[in-house]
A and B are shown apart, each in its own frame.
Chain A
Amino acid sequence: MAEHTDTRAVDLTIGGMTCASCAARVEKKLNRLDGVTATVNFATERAHVVAPPTVTVAELVGTVEKTGYTATPAADVDDDDGRSMLRRLLTSAALTVPVLALSMAPPLQFRYWQWLVLALATPVAVWGAWPFHRAAWTNLRHRATTMDTLVSLGVVVAFAWSLWALFLGDAGEPGMRMRFSFAASGADEIYFEVVAAVTTFLLAGRYAEARAKRRSGAALRALLDLGAKDVAVLRDGVEVRIPVGQLAVGDSFVVRPGEKVATDGAVVTGSSAIDASLVSGESVPVEVGPGDLVVGATVNAGGRLVVRATRVGGDTQLAQMARLVEQAQQGKAQVQRLADRISAVFVPAVLVLAAATFSAWLATGAAASDAFTAAVSVLIIACPCALGLATPTALMVGTGRGAQLGILIKGPEMLENTRRVDTVVLDKTGTVTNGAMTLRAVVGEEPDEVLRVAGATEAASEHPVAAALAAAARERFGALPPVSQFAALPGEGVQGVVEGRAVLVGRRSLLAQRGLAPDERLGASLTAAEAAGRTPVLVAWDGAVRGVLDVGDTVRPTSAEAVRELRALGLHPVLLTGDNARAAHAVAAQVGIDEVVAEVLPAGKVAQIARLQDAGRVVAMVGDGVNDAAALASADLGIAMGSGTDVAIEASDLTLLRADLRAAATAIRLSRATLRTIKGNLVWAFGYNVAALPLAAAGLLNPLIAGAAMAASSVFVVTNSLRLRRFR
């Protein structure tokens, strides 16, 4: 299987598919390439291709195009964007520095300086600001005005005016100097430094934002990586290792202890405990035997199983969850940026003001050229340079402070999205609780002895409950006595001989079969632990029940305080879990949550989020598991526990690096503080320029004032953002 070891996955975005047959056609053509396995999804317009290194991406794209459709590598789009944006930014910055220096420092203004400035600023205005022009044009066709419109307008007007002044006005005369007076401006003023600086600052802002943006699709890759890579298939009774992709429905395969189940199937022989917490959120391992169904990507925690595959590839539960996450991420409406919302009002207002200025000047009997000059000045000064810095600087400082506090913030969109979060949905296992089996209590006449003996017996078993017991015993007593004649009784418990005593550790039913029943006290604690949704086991030796070992998932010590903090922030907590209602209510009571939704499947979690959102709530979701991923992606604010799975982390907006729910409250406070700063920045970014608007309308604008407004608002915005460093 050497040719399969170094294959790589490529995702293509396919355009032009009009029906399911198209998808089938593309898939067929791609699969015909040597060593290529491709699946094409018509609904998401995506092709997932696994190809050997001998097949280039260009060949794949070419094949799709030959078939009559378009293809672009999906994963590479972001990188290309990032690289070209950086090139644009660096080039513009290099050209802008001399433009600024020459324009702002009269001593440097040599005889023909204005022509050098023109040469330097032209590429910035045309090529550097191209993304803004393009976006403005696109928006214009949709009759919308955004921040891009404002930038493009400002750059174009300032540039065109300067050109006019140079070639037709007086600014082109050799030896022209910028005048630094509050005199009425005229045909000898050039604004190339405004053009260059505005473009560079906004490109810098865009670049910072783009870098912070989530890499969509990363969650899906992480999810699909969870599955087993290869599988031991039984062919005529002989085990053959093949890649999972070659597994077919009906194949029988072997799952050894500790291995991942390769695909969804039914157990043929063997019995074991399956740790499905990753997929189902269930904290207690599930006992399986012949006939029981197992889910792909869950971990076999017990003995050897032979499983017959019932679903493979895109039909498996894992693949279905991947689709859920994908749909949730795509369905998440792109929230309009705050700056864009302001621009939508600001741009028309400025245009009206410019028109009004023109008419007012004419009406008061001024020359048409003066009226035009004033109107153009209004347009030039309206484009705030600091606008590009308002969001990114606050984000950079906010995310930096977040990192110090153990909170990773993914991107700006979520901050602007979650101003009004009023409900927080908490996953139980791994979020409110530790998500691992631990020994909680030992009840009996001689608790130490009970734990020592039970731990020694269980040390030979791989069952998660057994592992928790053995670990607790080892921690308390160090080395444990050896066990002989050990036997695991699947789904029931274990037996063995320790220090000459025949020991039985297991469920109530196992002991009952042997004619053993706990006394009243032990029975009561057994019932209490079961009622709380935990997994207590009984320990018996020499014909009598000696104690109860209370095993279960434990609530994190800080969770109750975290829930109080979340409430104090005005959030309504909801506990959401795939676990049973008993366990859910027990945990909810401990941490002080009244609203509980239990026994929810992964798809159901998304539905629950949607239900809350439909009721008008703005929902934050905190989770850690694969089964939470889709819900995290569809919530208004997805918060993942850093101790959780990569899938959950990729699907979320925020990641808490500490395994402490209190960080969620801090994260929400930090998000709010960051958003407040962004808003403040926007006010000031626009404020300085708005203040300069009357000057422009009065015809008093000159490059000095334009430059001062840019500098002052930029400095203020940066300083304001830096205040976030003191957040605690």
Chain B
Amino acid sequence: MASKAYAVTGMTCDHCAHAVSEELGALDGVTGVAVQLDAGGTSTVLVTSAAPLADEAIAAALDEAGDYRLG
């Protein structure tokens, strides 16, 4: 079990948080996603997964979800 916090920019509302959780949650091995929203600023996203994930995979999922980036 691995947990890692990511700083994510570009999130402005609960919709964004929902979108990000959904995309990250769909990644292989991810068991939990928690978003602490800082609208317009840098939000914190805590991802729990069976095995550590590559940052690229996270970044790709964020991009998939919308206009969000690792900060």
Question: Would you give the shortest CB distance from B14 to chain A, in whole angstroms?
Answer: 8
Report chain A residues within 8 Å CB of B18.
68
State whether the Cβ of A21 lies closer than 8 Å to any Cβ in chain B: yes
State whether the Cβ of B12 lies closer than 8 Å to any Cβ in chain A: yes
Q: Are B66 and A24 in contact (CB under 8 A)?
A: yes
Q: Are B13 and A18 in contact (CB under 8 A)?
A: yes
State whether the Cβ of A25 lies closer than 8 Å to any Cβ in chain B: yes
State whether the Cβ of A569 lies closer than 8 Å to any Cβ in chain B: no
Provide the B41-65 mask, 1 if CB < 8 A to any CB of A, else 0.
0000000000000000000000011
Report chain B residues within 8 Å CB of A68.
15, 18-19, 22
Q: Report the separation of the CA atoms of residues A28 and B68 in the bound assembly, to the nearest whole angstrom.
A: 12
| Given A25-B19, A68-B19, also A19-B65 (CB < 8 A) | no
State whether the Cβ of B24 lies closer than 8 Å to any Cβ in chain A: no
Within 8 A of A (CB), among B1-43: 10-16, 18-19, 22
Residue tally, chain B, CB below 8 Å to A = 15
State whether the Cβ of A683 lies closer than 8 Å to any Cβ in chain B: no
Q: Are A20 and B12 in contact (CB under 8 A)?
A: yes
Closest-by-CB residue of B relative to A17 is B15
Q: Which of B12, B64, B66 has the most CB of A within 10 A?
A: B66
Contact-residue bracket for chain A: 10 to 19
Q: Report the separation of the CA atoms of residues A25 and B22 in the bound assembly, to the nearest whole angstrom.
A: 13
Q: Report the separation of the CA atoms of residues A66 and B23 in the bound assembly, to the nearest whole angstrom.
A: 12
Q: Are A19 and B13 in contact (CB under 8 A)?
A: yes
Q: Are B66 and A28 in contact (CB under 8 A)?
A: yes
Closest-by-CB residue of B relative to A28 is B66
Closest-by-CB residue of A relative to B39 is A19
Report chain B residues within 8 Å CB of A20.
12
State whether the Cβ of A360 lies closer than 8 Å to any Cβ in chain B: no
Report chain A residues within 8 Å CB of B10.
21
Question: Would you give the shortest CB distance from A15 to chain B, in whole angstroms?
Answer: 12
Q: Report the separation of the CA atoms of residues A22 and B14 in the bound assembly, to the nearest whole angstrom.
A: 10
Which one of B22, B64, B66 contacts A21 once the chains associate, using CB atoms below 8 Å?
Answer: B66
Q: Report the separation of the CA atoms of residues A17 and B12 in the bound assembly, to the nearest whole angstrom.
A: 12
Q: Report the separation of the CA atoms of residues A586 and B13 in the bound assembly, to the nearest whole angstrom.
A: 57
Q: Are B66 and A18 in contact (CB under 8 A)?
A: no
Provide the A5-39 mask, 1 if CB < 8 A to any CB of B, else 0.
00000000000111111101100100000000000
Report chain A residues within 8 Å CB of B22.
68
Report chain B residues within 8 Å CB of A22.
13, 15-16, 66
Q: Report the separation of the CA atoms of residues A67 and B67 in the bound assembly, to the nearest whole angstrom.
A: 14
Q: Are B67 and A24 in contact (CB under 8 A)?
A: yes
Report chain B residues within 8 Å CB of A24.
66-67
Q: Are A18 and B15 in contact (CB under 8 A)?
A: yes
Report chain B residues within 8 Å CB of A17.
15
Report chain A residues within 8 Å CB of B13.
18-19, 21-22
Provide the A316-333 mask, 1 if CB < 8 A to any CB of B, else 0.
000000000000000000
Question: Would you give the shortest CB distance from A26 to chain B, in whole angstroms?
Answer: 9
Question: Would you give the shortest CB distance from B20 to chain A, in whole angstroms?
Answer: 10
Q: Report the separation of the CA atoms of residues A622 and B18 in the bound assembly, to the nearest whole angstrom.
A: 50
Q: Report the separation of the CA atoms of residues A20 and B16 in the bound assembly, to the nearest whole angstrom.
A: 10
Q: Report the separation of the CA atoms of residues A319 and B65 in the bound assembly, to the nearest whole angstrom.
A: 27
Q: Report the separation of the CA atoms of residues A24 and B15 in the bound assembly, to the nearest whole angstrom.
A: 12
Report chain B residues within 8 Å CB of A25.
16, 19, 65-67
Within 8 A of B (CB), among A234-292: none
Report chain A residues within 8 Å CB of B15.
16-19, 21-22, 68
Question: Would you give the shortest CB distance from A603 to chain B, in whole angstroms?
Answer: 28
Closest-by-CB residue of B relative to A32 is B64
Question: Would you give the shortest CB distance from B33 to chain A, in whole angstroms?
Answer: 15
Q: Report the separation of the CA atoms of residues A25 and B66 in the bound assembly, to the nearest whole angstrom.
A: 4
Which one of A16, A21, A28 contacts B16 once the chains associate, using CB atoms below 8 Å?
Answer: A21
Report chain B residues within 8 Å CB of A16.
15
Question: Would you give the shortest CB distance from A66 to chain B, in whole angstroms?
Answer: 10
Q: Report the separation of the CA atoms of residues A68 and B17 in the bound assembly, to the nearest whole angstrom.
A: 12
Report chain A residues within 8 Å CB of B66.
21-22, 24-25, 28
Within 8 A of B (CB), among A479-536: none
Within 8 A of B (CB), among A201-216: none
Q: Report the separation of the CA atoms of residues A20 and B18 in the bound assembly, to the nearest whole angstrom.
A: 15
Question: Would you give the shortest CB distance from B71 to chain A, in whole angstroms?
Answer: 15
Q: Report the separation of the CA atoms of residues A111 and B65 in the bound assembly, to the nearest whole angstrom.
A: 70
Q: Report the separation of the CA atoms of residues A202 and B1 in the bound assembly, to the nearest whole angstrom.
A: 68
Report chain A residues within 8 Å CB of B14.
18
Report chain B residues within 8 Å CB of A28.
64, 66-67
Q: Report the separation of the CA atoms of residues A16 and B16 in the bound assembly, to the nearest whole angstrom.
A: 12
Q: Are A19 and B12 in contact (CB under 8 A)?
A: yes
Q: Report the separation of the CA atoms of residues A690 and B15 in the bound assembly, to the nearest whole angstrom.
A: 55
Q: Report the separation of the CA atoms of residues A18 and B17 in the bound assembly, to the nearest whole angstrom.
A: 12
Report chain A residues within 8 Å CB of B19.
21, 25, 67-68
Report chain A residues within 8 Å CB of B64.
28
Report chain A residues within 8 Å CB of B68.
21
Report chain A residues within 8 Å CB of B12.
19-21
Provide the A627-656 mask, 1 if CB < 8 A to any CB of B, else 0.
000000000000000000000000000000
List 12 A–B pairs whose Cβ atoms lie within 8 Å, in order of A's numbering. A18-B13, A18-B14, A18-B15, A19-B12, A22-B13, A24-B67, A25-B65, A25-B66, A28-B66, A28-B67, A67-B19, A68-B15
Q: B: which residues have CB within 8 A of A?
A: 10-16, 18-19, 22, 64-68
Q: A: which residues have CB within 8 A of B?
A: 16-22, 24-25, 28, 67-68
Q: A16-B15, A21-B13, A22-B16 are in contact. List 7 more A-B contacts (CB 8 A).
A: A18-B13, A21-B10, A21-B15, A22-B66, A28-B64, A68-B18, A68-B22
